[in-house]
Amino acid sequence: MRETSADSNSSSVDYFDEINRSREDRRNLFTQGKNDQADDWMKAAEEGAILQVRAPAINFYVLRDGDELYLIDAGFIGGLRLMKRALARHGWNRLPIRGILVTHGHLDHILNVQLVARRYGAWIAAPRLDAEQYAGRSNYPGRARVAQWLETFGRPILGFRSFTPDRLLDDGDVLGVWQGLRAVHLPGHTEGHMGYYSPDRKLLFSGDLFVSYRGAAKLPPDIFNSRPEQIPASVEAALAYDLEGVLPNHCDSSPPAEHLRRFRRLGAKLADRRAGD
């Protein structure tokens, strides 16, 4: 089994300096070059601790910890090409990729996991309850059978390769990355769906708990949610953390503080709805 810990030597620069900028400054900073899908909209804010790899279907993240890199998910069609471009653009292409942290087992998040792990010798840490999907199987109930059908046909067409994680994660597990990223079980989108919380940066990588576009956070369509009845409680649990920013996988190029603002509004709406039931 590959080693799943790392020395934490990340920059001590305040990650959220960008929230002190004027609205116009932030708009210019985070939308520049957005037509280049590999553009890193976070470089100026973090001074080289994180890249967001933007792709047509899904975004994923590259974390830098000292002179080592870690992925949160591994992207979908074209994701590796865009990742290589982003790494080269920011001078990270010679740094080793040590690990992959999977948020959940949907194909758009795990298509490239086995390929990255084999090519770079990276370990894989993934939610225990989504293990069936890593083996190339899915059994989603209700409306999510549509997603099951799409994945069943998509796996062979897209060349998905099954994998066995080096570490199966449960709620509260801590990884030796970024001063201790914490696995947070946020079920609903899938049974095992995980977020990753950084206490040091007060930042949550929220996976597909919600999507964030055009000024609003919304829940994913029900056809992609295996346990939609669990999502409101997961939203409430996520918002209970000490947060200054949140980063979903399906989002526009707004800064993390803006995604958090939208997410809190969504949480308030869901709470009002539950109170009225």
**pLDDT (tens digit per residue) in 222-267:** 999 999 999 999 999 999 999 999 999 999 989 999 999 999 999 9
Tens of pLDDT, residue by residue over 142-192, are 888 898 999 999 999 999 999 999 999 999 999 999 999 999 999 999 999
CATH number of 17-276: 3.60.15.10
The pLDDT value recorded for residue 126 is 99
pLDDT confidence tier of residue 141, bands split at 50, 70 and 90: confident
Pick the more confident residue, 10 or 56. 56
The pLDDT value recorded for residue 185 is 99
pLDDT confidence tier of residue 3, bands split at 50, 70 and 90: very low
In the block, tokens 């099954």 appear at 162
The pLDDT value recorded for residue 276 is 72
Give this prediction's pTM.
Answer: 0.83
Q: Across all residues in the chain, what is the average pLDDT?
A: 84
Q: How far apart are CA 121 and CA 212, in angstroms?
A: 33
pLDDT confidence tier of residue 33, bands split at 50, 70 and 90: very low
Instruction: Please compute the mean of the pLDDT values over residues 110-136 and round it to a whole number.
Output: 97
Helices (H), 172-255: 231-239
Are 44 and 15 spatial neighbours (Cβ–Cβ below 8 Å)?
Answer: no
The pLDDT value recorded for residue 14 is 26
Which structure tokens are listed for 224?
């992609």
The pLDDT value recorded for residue 57 is 81
E-only strand ranges, the chain: 50-54, 59-65, 68-72, 97-101, 123-127, 167-169, 174-175, 181-185, 194-198, 203-207, 211-213, 216-218, 245-248
Residue 18 has pLDDT above 70, yes or no: no
Residue 82 has pLDDT above 80, yes or no: yes
Tens of pLDDT, residue by residue over 39-55, are 444 443 445 689 999 88
Query: Residues with Cβ < 8 Å from 77, sequence gap 6 or more?
Result: 55, 56, 57, 111, 158
Pick the more confident residue, 16 or 234. 234
Among candidate residues 4, 10, 1, the one with its CA nearest the CA of residue 178? 10
pLDDT confidence tier of residue 274, bands split at 50, 70 and 90: confident
Residue 64 has pLDDT above 80, yes or no: yes
Residue 100 has pLDDT above 80, yes or no: yes
Residue 34 has pLDDT above 90, yes or no: no
The pLDDT value recorded for residue 277 is 66
